[in-house]
Structure 1
């Protein structure tokens, strides 16, 4: 496995656009060329290579000079620096030569970001096998994510996949005003989180489908979760509705928008059921709408999915959660944590 913590500074020399798509977690983006300059040089390179190199080096030296003044001047002169770009080529070389001239010890990542990305993908197809997962299952609104958070507060190792994906994992799971990470950045975050865990201790995770919004889970991880012995959670409908109200305040104020998001379900639930949802939304009957959506769609859907992906689920008695408040879940988490040790 690659280790980057021994470096005082890791420089990502790529453009901000490339950096935003994915990068080594500890890397600082000090681009040799910005997005516009990168596009300009690339376009020019197709017709006039010499002219492209001329303007590219001009941009690069100006940008590196600014980065040296603003950032590098504050780095310990005895520090070690790692530099990488897309393939470990010209942009890395420009940075490395200037840093070595100043006196820094500099390494260039062989193969650049592309090699790093290959390592991430390969690791995610093997590394999850090393862990013992404890899986929380159950229908929507029963407090799985909140119990995960309570388990983390209790000192347990917790893998919050929905948190990493910035999505609650259904048609209505998008976080208002926020985007999901790119698939590549999610993979990086996931591997970084897994590497922070002790393989000798269990990892708590929520049962998920293979996709969380636009994010695809690695097959190895999804299979490892599926092989685990699940713990099924159940909660009273009143608590589940209360949780939805707290987790989806935007649908409390605009239930019509929620039903619009759920319209693609019409082939599954039928036109009559969908019309009932529309009527409840139009009348502002939020609690009744939430309950109806759970009972008519999500409960049977989750039950089918869990039976298919979690073979051990039907034989295990459920954990009844009568209260989904933080204090109540902290007490449950403390008990589960003590039993796991």
Structure 2
């Protein structure tokens, strides 16, 4: 028998999640781990929608049946391949005809089917309410090249709760952030991924998160998270400039030089024509440390400006010459001795 489940129960139900919306809808945003299992292509969906508006529901349903009829056997075969245990979870946009039709087809073919009540639209409502849930936070700041991301990963390895915004956005948060990274998700999908992690964090322990601007590449940090970050306790990690340059060369040393040059040229308005040209020449000559030194002047200035804007004193932790793991242990030791830690 087909089950109608709330988002919480739907998450916990067994079987793969089959998203029967069109490929375009799926690409815009989908439940984490869901498989695209379209009933209609983008063109077919548009065709049925136009028919509905111009000729009414009955005619549109008939058109939909004509389109889907030849696909039915293939859909069943694909579902059984995806779900060897014969259990599937199915949803569409609003939990209407598309998921209902596919659910009926798969159930008739011998699969156990769970449908998401309210569909993806209900899931997006859950995303908004989940991101608004308060969580204690420790924001980790520091100038470019201090290794903040590696330290966060080490904190996670130590069992701490960590939200890696840059990892979820597939972007390191600077003009160079997209280099050697997979394509970014849409902002909508970025929010979906954030919510999946956010709901798993305990409210009794702090969440460690890197200081970020509202944009991580093309992904926008949700207002609900940004507001909590701005109100959270913050610390700043310190490393020497030579150490920072070394870390940056290690990160970007394998990047395509043309990509490095393009990213540098995007900074020209802020970096200035002469400095940009100088940095580009260093890249062409293979001297990435010299190029990074030029560019750091811009990023350091921006970072200091943001500190002034915040208008509050931020405690610092010097992690010079420490590995990411040693730095993570140092941060844990330091914050547990600070008065505000008990409020996290």
Q: Cα distance 1:149–1:192, how it changes in 2: closer, same or farther (>3 A)?
A: same
Which deviates more, 111-120 or 196-205?
111-120
1:1-341 mapped onto 2 (5 Å cutoff): 2-3=7-8, 4-9=10-15, 10-42=17-49, 53-72=61-80, 74=83, 76=85, 81-102=88-109, 106-124=113-131, 126-127=132-133, 129=134, 131-176=135-180, 178-251=182-255, 254=257, 257-294=259-296, 296-309=297-310, 311-313=312-314, 316=315, 318-323=316-321, 328-337=323-332, 340=336
Deviation at 1:172, TM superposition (A): 1.4
Unaligned runs of 5+ in 2: 1-5, 337-341
Q: Cα distance 1:164–1:237, how it changes in 2: closer, same or farther (>3 A)?
A: same
Which deviates more, 140-149 or 242-251?
242-251
Q: Report the Cα distance in structure 2 between the residues aligned to 1:64 and 1:237, rounded to whole angstroms.
A: 62
TM-score w.r.t. the length of structure 1 is: 0.84
* 2:139 counterpart SS class: strand
- Contact 1:234–1:321 under 8 Å retained in 2: yes
Q: Cα distance 1:122–1:309, how it changes in 2: closer, same or farther (>3 A)?
A: farther
Q: Report the Cα distance in structure 1 between the residues aligned to 2:116 and 2:159, rounded to whole angstroms.
A: 35
Deviation at 1:41, TM superposition (A): 4.0
Q: Report the Cα distance in structure 2 between the residues aligned to 1:87 and 1:270, rounded to whole angstroms.
A: 51
- Contact 1:166–1:175 under 8 Å retained in 2: no
Which deviates more, 184-193 or 236-245?
236-245
Unaligned runs of 5+ in 1: none
Deviation at 1:263, TM superposition (A): 2.9
Listed one character per residue, the Cα deviations across residues 209-254 of structure 1 (whole Å, up to 9, x for unaligned) are 0110111111121121122221211112222122111211245x61
Q: Cα distance 1:103–1:282, how it changes in 2: closer, same or farther (>3 A)?
A: closer
Listed one character per residue, the Cα deviations across residues 156-189 of structure 1 (whole Å, up to 9, x for unaligned) are 1111000000001111111336210011111000
Q: Report the Cα distance in structure 2 between the residues aligned to 1:234 and 1:177, rounded to whole angstroms.
A: 26
- Contact 2:19–2:37 under 8 Å retained in 1: yes
Deviation at 1:2, TM superposition (A): 3.1
Deviation at 1:51, TM superposition (A): 6.5
- Contact 2:170–2:181 under 8 Å retained in 1: no
Listed one character per residue, the Cα deviations across residues 6-45 of structure 1 (whole Å, up to 9, x for unaligned) are 3223332112332232222243332212345435544666
Q: Report the Cα distance in structure 1 between the residues aligned to 2:188 and 2:179, rounded to whole angstroms.
A: 19
Q: Cα distance 1:30–1:280, how it changes in 2: closer, same or farther (>3 A)?
A: closer
Q: CA RMSD in A?
A: 2.8
* 2:11 counterpart SS class: coil
- Contact 1:41–1:56 under 8 Å retained in 2: yes
Q: Report the Cα distance in structure 2 between the residues aligned to 1:334 and 1:52, rounded to whole angstroms.
A: 62
Aligned length: 327
Q: Report the Cα distance in structure 1 between the residues aligned to 2:129 and 2:188, rounded to whole angstroms.
A: 13
Which deviates more, 197-206 or 65-74?
65-74
Deviation at 1:46, TM superposition (A): 6.1
* 1:71 counterpart SS class: helix
Q: Cα distance 1:291–1:68, how it changes in 2: closer, same or farther (>3 A)?
A: same
- Contact 1:12–1:83 under 8 Å retained in 2: yes
Q: Report the Cα distance in structure 1 between the residues aligned to 2:271 and 2:97, rounded to whole angstroms.
A: 56
Listed one character per residue, the Cα deviations across residues 53-93 of structure 1 (whole Å, up to 9, x for unaligned) are 4442133244343232333485556x5x5432122222112
